[in-house]
Amino acid sequence: MSTKAAALPRLQEEAYKGAWSWITTVDHKRVGILYGMTAFSFFLIGGMEALIIRTQLAGPEGTVVTAGTFNALFTMHALTMIFLVIMPLGAAFFNYMIPLMIGARDVAFPRLNALSYWVFLTGALFLNVSFLVGTPPDVGWFAYAPLTAKAFSPTHAVDYYIFGLQILGISSMMAGFNFIVTILNMRTPGMTMMRLPVFVWMTLVVQFLVVLAFPIITVGLIFLQFDRFFGTHFYEASAGADPLLWQHLFWLFGHPEVYILILPAMGIVSEVLPTFSHKPLFGAPFVIFSGVLIGFLGFGVWSHHMFTTGLGPVADAAFSTTTMMIAVPTAVKIFNWIATIWGGRIRLTTAMLYALGFIAMFIIGGLSGVMHASPPVDLQQQDSYFVVAHIHYVLFGGSILGLFAGIFYWYPKMTGRLLDERLGKLQFWLQMIALNVTFFPMHFLGVDGMPRRIYTYYGTDGWNGWNMVATIGSYVLGLSVMIFLFNFFRSLRAGKPAGADPWDGATLEWTIPSPPPLYNFARLPVVTSARPFWEVKYASAAQKAQMEKAEKERGADHIHIPPPSYWPIVLAFGMAVFFAGWFFNYYVNVAGVLIVLAATFAWVYEPGH
Amino acid sequence: MSTAAVAHAEETSLGQPHLKIGFWTFLGSECFFFGSLIATYMSYRGHSVAGPFPHHGPPHGTGILNIPVTSISSFVLLTSSLAMVLALAACQKGDRKKTSFWLCMTAFFGLIFLGFQAYEFTEFYHNGLSLTKNLFGCTFFVLTGFHGAHVSIGVLWLLSLFVINQREGIPVEKSLSVEIAGLYWHFVDIVWIVIFTLVYLIPD
Amino acid sequence: MADTLLEQETHDHPTPSTYVKIGVILTVITAVEVSIYYIPAMRGVLVPLLLVLSAVKFLTVVGWYMHLKMDPVIYSRLFFAPLLLATGMTVVLMLLFGHFFPHAKP
């Protein structure tokens, strides 16, 4: 690909040093790095929460933590892993890679992008400040009413939950609007929707899920806040209300949320498998369409989380049907992935191992999920460790393994260096073994009747053995993450130089240097297929001559780089003040609103954007 | 507004401005926000244990909703949408004076609507319906309250555009900013169309 | 690539007088809605009539004031898909809370 270009902006390069440059950055690549670093830090925190949980449950009648602390631990472990790890790790990849993969120089709204990160950080800190003041949320990550009512949860614990989630929701929605417009409206010439990489398509579906599902939980949380702060009765049975309303609103959001958690990983796997099989993705249109269908159907299954609440046979049957239907497009994807590898020239790099591991683990998680889809079976499985097994197979075996595939695949692009493959493979195998040792026995524990969210159990329950096994497995998982951290930081300094295209990739991100320059593409590429780089690299001599001629005939590109801005962090600060006001008094709320308004006006009038 | 986005609209994949695509997506998401509020209102209809109740007639007797007054406020909001669309037309023709006039009228009608809401809320409160009195109070005030908050933000937005137009003018190339404000305003109007029908006109 | 910006600008654009006419129609429909509320004989068909009339108002404002009818179809898709999904969600919730069959056993 031609890299000749007209005068390239040098100005902003100088502003690229120091902490202030990070605080005011509107460069999608830097925003992606910020998301990734923050998310991984919370992965460590959430992991420690998990290890304490597993230590407490290693044997019967454990005394590592009290029941109250245990409640906070499993609540915060889930909230952390879902909202502060998996979602922002996905966001890190959306931010860094989407513009590169569609041949764009940035996202549609660069400052809004930066804002979504600062608001995310605000929400993450808000939620975790609750630990520092001694009242972390302790009502389970789905916070069922009426436990969350003021009468039963009088401390601020639930309020941290409410406002933490509201702030995080705002962050996700901002990013959602940004990426939808970016993907729809900033594709390089020739990149039709069906030529988009599958990772980009899955991201598009995820963003629609975000902007449509989060408003529902926003309303549910508003009702909860009003009940707790203003004495309304949205979830109060004595006033004629139904606490189940919370469950409906929560799961109407919650189910699309789990697809938000898995689709990015599926997108990554859809990129990694073809690259390391040296074959195009089999049936790419079907994989894309299945992803869209999963997103759509995901709005119709929510009450499968409520089979044990007495909805009645008609509702149970309806939701059971829709839930089983949603397994079909997932299966279509799995068959297409297998068909992609079949007959390919396979290279078992760490990224590829992770992608393959994803498929195997997600199948197991999917099978336990299909079991849950049957109401009579779910009657026994609900709220037991069988569900814990399911969750962790799909979220660790699925999302996390998929995200690690992405990390090993795209780290060279972001840093210019390769991660160490030997350490990577050691990490992979440790994780594969450890996650199965940790979570497979939980199926048995669940069938054996061990409930979720209990802080201890008796020696006579018959659960000792598997719990000990699971705990040992969890420690090995922790070790594998340490190996990764070592690999990550050592490779930053001493990893093998990667070059632009270490994997012989097919998509546009591999056509530019590693790490990419500020402006990504010197010339926006013109694309004629879904595998543009393979088209170029493997073209015949005649085709290559034709491409070079076409390149020469194009004029120089006009490159506009938006200048840095501090209004995003100021606006995020205003938002933090507004939400903190609920813990103090209305003057603080008003101050927050005024800061947000002032920052908005300044933003609109900022020159250069 | 982002001049870069507007100026390069022709270079976009869909040939449309980023802001307009983003804003219609936002309106799609607002359908879920108001949809959840409305779904709750409708699901809890008739579940209040004690009065006051919304409508006249069995089984409760007198109702607290004032249909004639709310019909007038609904008419006011509908008319404000007309004013808004005339403001956009004026802006797209480069008629600075008319743009200011119609922006002002839209905001003015919006303020009248809010005045009616304030009157209605205080009347209800004096007749015994508070936010916490019963389920009807909870769902009614939160639904119409958030709608009113949206109207208030809209009025602020329109007045800002009015001030900008008075000071430096909004040229035809920047009429997108008036168009986007218009989309927001009309959306708030159609949400009220739904609320007026489901809450006020459909009896128990 | 970017194809139809020029074409869109030459689509027929409603004039101010058209907008006023639409405003009058919307007012008339509102008046009809309020009137049938007060006619006891119409109580039987009140709900379906109101739903139809308000849907007409809704779609008129969306189609003409918000210009969806004359704009590229992408905007209609971005709006109507969520609208339909949200409506479906509302109806299902109403069903689950017994709104349509208040005395039915679950």
Q: Mean pLDDT throughout A584-592?
A: 96
Tens of pLDDT, residues C49-80: 999 999 999 999 999 999 999 999 999 999 99
CA dihedral for B134, B137, B143, B149, sign (positive or negative): negative
Tell me if A599 sits within 8 A of A571, measured CB to CB: yes
Q: Mean pLDDT throughout A457-471?
A: 97
State ipTM: 0.95
Tell me if B180 sits within 8 A of B23, measured CB to CB: yes
Interatomic CA distance for residues A448 and A370, integer angstroms: 19
* Candidates B44, B68, B85; nearest CB to C19: B85
> What 8-state DSSP symbol labels residue A156?
T
* pLDDT in the model for residue C101: 81
Q: Mean pLDDT throughout B101-126?
A: 97
B17 pLDDT above the threshold of 80:
yes
- CATH homologous superfamily of domain A3-449+464-565? Cytochrome c oxidase-like, subunit I domain (1.20.210.10)
Residue B61 phi, psi dihedral angles, 5° rounding: 95, -115
A438 pLDDT above the threshold of 50:
yes
Buried b (16+ CB within 10 A) or exposed e, A216-229: bbbbbbbbbbbbbe
Ranges of each domain in chain A? 3-449+464-565
Place of tokens 């998301």: A35
Tell me if A113 sits within 8 A of A26, measured CB to CB: yes
Coil, strand or helix: which one is A417? strand
C83 pLDDT above the threshold of 50:
yes
User: Are C101 and C55 members of one domain?
Assistant: no
A406 pLDDT above the threshold of 50:
yes
On the question of a cis peptide bond just before residue A243, with omega within 30 degrees of 0, the verdict is no
A424 pLDDT above the threshold of 90:
yes
* pLDDT in the model for residue C2: 44
More confident residue, A609 or C25: C25
Q: How many CB pairs under 8 A join A and B?
A: 111
Task: For residue C51, tell me if it sits in a domain.
Answer: yes
* pLDDT in the model for residue A548: 80
Tens of pLDDT, residues A471-481: 999 999 999 99
A172 is catalytic: yes
* pLDDT in the model for residue B58: 67
Coil, strand or helix: which one is A451? strand
* Candidates A216, A230, A239; nearest CB to B135: A239
Give Cα separations from A489 to A30, A36, A415, B51, B109 (angstroms).
Answer: 18, 14, 11, 66, 61
Measure C97 CA to nearest chain A CA, in Å: 9
Does A213 reach chain B within 8 Å, measured CB to CB?
yes
Q: Can you read off the two tokens belonging to residue A366?
A: 């999917």
More confident residue, A157 or C5: A157
pLDDT band at B1 (very low <50, low <70, confident <90, very high): very low
Tens of pLDDT, residues A302-317: 999 999 999 999 999 9
* CA nearest to A136, candidates A76, A96, A195: A76
User: Are C64 and C78 members of one domain?
Assistant: no
Task: For residue C105, tell me if it sits in a domain.
Answer: yes
* Candidates C1, C105, C106; nearest CB to A311: C106
A25 pLDDT above the threshold of 60:
yes
* pLDDT in the model for residue B198: 97
* pLDDT in the model for residue C12: 63
Q: Mean pLDDT throughout A469-491?
A: 97
List the 7-66 stretch of C: residues with Cβ below 8 A of B: 8, 15-16, 19-20, 22-23, 26-27, 30, 33-34, 37-38, 43, 46-47, 50-51, 53-54, 57-58, 61-62, 64-66
Domain that holds residue C44: 14-68
* CA nearest to C64, candidates C5, C11, C3: C11
* pLDDT in the model for residue A121: 98
Catalytic residue among A27, A49, A159, A257: A257
User: Are C26 and C47 members of one domain?
Assistant: yes
A452 is catalytic: yes
Q: Mean pLDDT throughout A83-92?
A: 98
Does A602 reach chain C within 8 Å, measured CB to CB?
no
Task: For residue C49, tell me if it sits in a domain.
Answer: yes
State the number of CA atoms in the 13 A half-sphere of B91 facing the CB: 29
The count of structural domains within chain C is 2
* pLDDT in the model for residue B4: 45
Residues 6 or more apart in contact with residue A327 via CB below 8 angstroms: A366, A369, A370, A373
Place of tokens 């089999």: A282
Count of C-beta atoms within a 10 Å radius of residue A594: 13
* pLDDT in the model for residue A3: 39
Does A240 reach chain C within 8 Å, measured CB to CB?
no
B6 pLDDT above the threshold of 70:
no
- Give chain A's mean pLDDT: 94
- Give chain B's mean pLDDT: 93
Tens of pLDDT, residues B24-70: 999 999 999 999 999 999 999 999 998 899 997 766 678 899 999 99
User: What is the SS3 assignment for A309-371?
Assistant: HCCCHHHHHHHHHHHHHHHHHHHHHHHHHHHHHCCCCCCCCHHHHHHHHHHHHHHHHHHHHHH
* CA nearest to C61, candidates C72, C69, C71: C69
* pLDDT in the model for residue C102: 72
Interatomic CA distance for residues B93 and A346, integer angstroms: 62
* pLDDT in the model for residue B59: 66
Task: For residue C1, tell me if it sits in a domain.
Answer: no
User: Are C63 and C40 members of one domain?
Assistant: yes
* pLDDT in the model for residue A557: 78
A245 pLDDT above the threshold of 80:
yes
User: Are C59 and C20 members of one domain?
Assistant: yes
Give Cα separations from C21 to A325, C62, C65 (angstroms).
Answer: 48, 15, 12
B contacts of C90 (beta carbons < 8 Å): 35, 38-39, 42
Tens of pLDDT, residues A441-452: 999 999 999 999
Interatomic CA distance for residues A370 and A334, integer angstroms: 15
Interatomic CA distance for residues A475 and A502, integer angstroms: 33
Give Cα separations from A160 to A136, A220, A221, B186 (angstroms).
Answer: 7, 15, 11, 35
* CA nearest to A65, candidates A81, A73, A139: A73
CB pair distance less than 8 Å for A184 and C74: yes
B74 pLDDT above the threshold of 80:
yes
Tell me if A42 sits within 8 A of A124, measured CB to CB: yes
Asked which of A8-22, A478-492, A589-603 is least confident by mean pLDDT, the reply is A8-22
Asked which of A299-313, A426-440, A552-566 is least confident by mean pLDDT, the reply is A552-566
* pLDDT in the model for residue C8: 45
pLDDT band at C1 (very low <50, low <70, confident <90, very high): very low
Substitution target in C77, C83, C96 with the highest count of A β-carbons within 10 Å is C96
| pLDDT over 70, % of chain A | 97
State the number of CA atoms in the 13 A half-sphere of A449 facing the CB: 5
A229 pLDDT above the threshold of 70:
yes
Interatomic CA distance for residues A79 and A23, integer angstroms: 26
User: Are C76 and C64 members of one domain?
Assistant: no
Strand partners, A497: A417
Coil, strand or helix: which one is B117? helix
Chain C residue closest in CA terms to A211: C82
Tens of pLDDT, residues A508-548: 999 999 999 999 998 899 999 999 999 889 888 888 888 78
Give the domains, in start order, of chain B with CATH numbers. 14-43+67-201 (1.20.120.80)
**Could you give the angle at which helices A67-79 and A28-56 cross, rounded to 10 degrees?**
150
Residues 6 or more apart in contact with residue B174 via CB below 8 angstroms: B1, B3, B6
CB pair distance less than 8 Å for A184 and C89: no
Burial class (CB within 10 angstroms; exposed 0-12, middle 13-18, buried 19+) of A238: exposed
A217 pLDDT above the threshold of 60:
yes
